């Protein structure tokens, strides 16, 4: 299917391939994400979603292709220089540090001034409603609270692009739907670019401006949720979305 070109994409992935040894995991992939867009990468386990996200983050070296963020070729830039914030499935908080220290640690390392750090933490804590938790350790938090803190760590970095890798998949159904709503509100408020990986069709349908349905390291279809649902391009997409095509 032909896609209209996006002028000044926030993230542009061009002919990206990634091989692990002889195994080709991402196959000449192309994806342009508009400024402020919420893109969901949806597909079954093993289709290459996390690998693609890790390539964008700079955590994996790609085999071929180029990655641009805000017009800059970041293909060989360090993760910290890419202007992205990443939230993983497992919370990856520092267990010995309070929530506040977890939020400030990266900023202190990066040399952000103290008063600026305080300002950013106050803002993130307000947005994520974690003000009462700032002096607690992660062990004293619920799963949902920990994941809020993990999102907060990306938030305080003041980045343009957020990458989420199945951030809700360790949570129970009720928390999952609550946090889904919060992530949606967060995006409305920040209006930043989000690339969100999930294998959950409901998450994809409710969060995405556009969904990229992946299978075997290839994007099968990239379209608005309704279009994907109503006009799947092939049986795989139809079956995965559960629509009656």
Q: Are 95 and 103 in contact (CB under 8 A)?
A: no
Cβ distance to ligand ADP smaller for residue 46 or 113 = 46
What's the closest the beta carbon of residue 19 comes to Mg ion, in angstroms? 18
With CB under 5 to 8 Å by kind, the binding choice for 220 among ligand ADP, Mg ion, none is none
The binding site for ligand ADP (CB under 6 A) comprises: 20, 25, 43, 45-51
User: Considering only residues 10, 12, 50, 220, which one is a binding residue for Mg ion as defined by CB under 5 A?
Assistant: 50
Cβ distance to Mg ion smaller for residue 125 or 204 = 204
What's the closest the beta carbon of residue 20 comes to ligand ADP, in angstroms? 4
Contact window for Mg ion (CB under 5 A) among 48-56, 141-149, 206-214, 218-226: 48-56
Tell me how far apart the alpha carbons of residues 178 and 148 are, in angstroms, rounded to a whole number: 11
Q: Are 17 and 66 in contact (CB under 8 A)?
A: no
| Closest listed residue to residue 24, CA positions, set 80, 69, 64, 81 | 64
Instruction: Give ∠ CA 241-229-224 in degrees, rounded to 5.
Output: 115
Tell me how far apart the alpha carbons of residues 243 and 245 are, in angstroms, rounded to a whole number: 6
What's the closest the beta carbon of residue 83 comes to ligand ADP, in angstroms? 22
Residues in the site for Mg ion, rule: CB under 5 A?
50
């Amino acid at each position: 299917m032909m896609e209209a070109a996006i002028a000044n994409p926030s993230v542009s992935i061009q002919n990206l391939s990634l091989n692990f040894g002889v195994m080709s995991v991402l196959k000449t992939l192309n994806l342009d994400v508009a400024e402020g867009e919420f893109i969901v990468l949806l597909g079954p386990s093993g289709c290459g979603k996390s690998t693609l996200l890790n390539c964008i983050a700079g955590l994996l070296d790609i085999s071929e292709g180029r990655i641009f963020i805000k017009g800059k070729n970041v293909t060989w830039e360090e993760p910290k220089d890419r202007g992205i914030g990443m939230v993983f499935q497992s919370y990856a908080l520092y267990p010995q540090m309070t929530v506040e220290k977890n939020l400030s640690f990266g900023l202190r390392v990066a040399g952000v001034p103290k008063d600026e750090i305080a300002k950013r933490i106050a803002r993130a804590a307000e947005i994520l409603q974690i003000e009462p938790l700032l002096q607690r350790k992660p062990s004293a938090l619920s799963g949902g609270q920990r994941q809020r803190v993990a999102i907060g760590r990306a938030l305080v970095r003041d980045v343009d692009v957020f990458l989420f890798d199945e951030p809700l998949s360790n949570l129970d159904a009720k928390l999952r739907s609550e946090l889904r709503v919060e992530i949606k509100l967060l995006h409305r408020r920040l209006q930043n670019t989000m690339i969100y990986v999930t294998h959950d069709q409901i998450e994809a349908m409710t969060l995405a401006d556009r969904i990229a349905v992946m299978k075997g390291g290839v994007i099968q279809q990239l379209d608005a949720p309704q279009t994907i649902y109503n006009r799947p391009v092939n049986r795989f997409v139809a079956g995965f979305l559960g629509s009656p095509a």
